[in-house]
């Protein structure tokens, strides 16, 4: 049971490391969240090039914050699966004014225990809702 808690904590930290890598525009860290460094995002977006994701984030959004919520994962041996929510806030512009685009995401994940810890095999990404709200001047 303690082993299970250790696994659950490691999976939680992986979810946060993924978010931190995206927000820091860190391509190495972003790819490193997946088994063998191979990004596999499925669903509305089909993404296999993690460095390209990071490049696009850097190009289009001066700032993002990926807040991860409600993780429910089941571990079976060296595999795990489950889902979490993520509200991904993106600073952007419309008509020259600063806005915050929020994506309400559900990630359905497959994970694998590796020699380096838990890693994503794949993430199925569904954007369930989007809002755009004006940003205050900073």
Treating both helix axes as pointing N-terminal to C-terminal, what angle do 2-23 and 50-60 enclose, rounded to 10 degrees?
50
- Is residue 16 a contact point for a copy of itself (CB under 8 A)? yes
Please report how close the Cβ of residue 63 comes to a copy of itself at its closest, in angstroms.
6
Residue nearer to a copy of itself on the CB measure, 95 or 138: 138
Nearest Cα neighbor of 8 from 111, 125, 95 is 111
Joined together, the tokens standing for residue 117 give 């810890």
Instruction: Out of 29, 32, 38, 63, point to the residue binding a copy of itself (CB under 8 A).
Output: 63
- Is residue 130 a contact point for a copy of itself (CB under 8 A)? yes
Cα angle 57-47-59, degrees, rounded to a multiple of 5: 15
86 touches 19 (CB < 8 A): yes
Contact window for a copy of itself (CB under 8 A) among 29-37, 52-60, 83-91, 114-122: 83-91
Contact window for a copy of itself (CB under 8 A) among 28-36, 50-58, 69-77, 114-122: 69-77
**Residue 62 carries which DSSP code?**
S
Joined together, the tokens standing for residue 81 give 């699966």
Instruction: Out of 49, 91, 92, 112, point to the residue binding a copy of itself (CB under 8 A).
Output: 91
- Is residue 24 a contact point for a copy of itself (CB under 8 A)? no
Nearest Cα neighbor of 88 from 57, 109, 59, 48 is 57
List residues binding a copy of itself (CB under 8 A). Answer: 1-2, 5-6, 8-9, 13, 16-17, 19-20, 63, 65-72, 85, 87, 89, 91, 100, 104, 106, 127-136, 138
């Amino acid at each position: 049971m303690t082993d299970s808690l250790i696994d659950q904590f490691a999976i939680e930290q992986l979810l946060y490391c993924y978010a931190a890598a995206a927000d820091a525009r860190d391509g190495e860290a972003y790819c490193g969240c997946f088994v063998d460094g191979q990004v596999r995002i499925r669903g509305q977006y089909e993404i296999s090039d993690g460095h390209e994701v990071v490049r696009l984030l850097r190009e289009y959004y001066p700032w993002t914050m990926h807040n991860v919520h409600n993780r429910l994962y089941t571990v079976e041996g060296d595999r795990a699966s489950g889902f979490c929510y993520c509200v991904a806030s993106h600073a952007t512009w419309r008509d020259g004014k600063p806005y915050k685009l929020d994506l309400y995401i559900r990630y359905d994940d497959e994970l694998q225990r590796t020699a380096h810890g838990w890693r994503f095999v794949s993430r199925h990404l569904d954007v369930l809702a989007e809002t755009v709200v004006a940003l205050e001047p900073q």
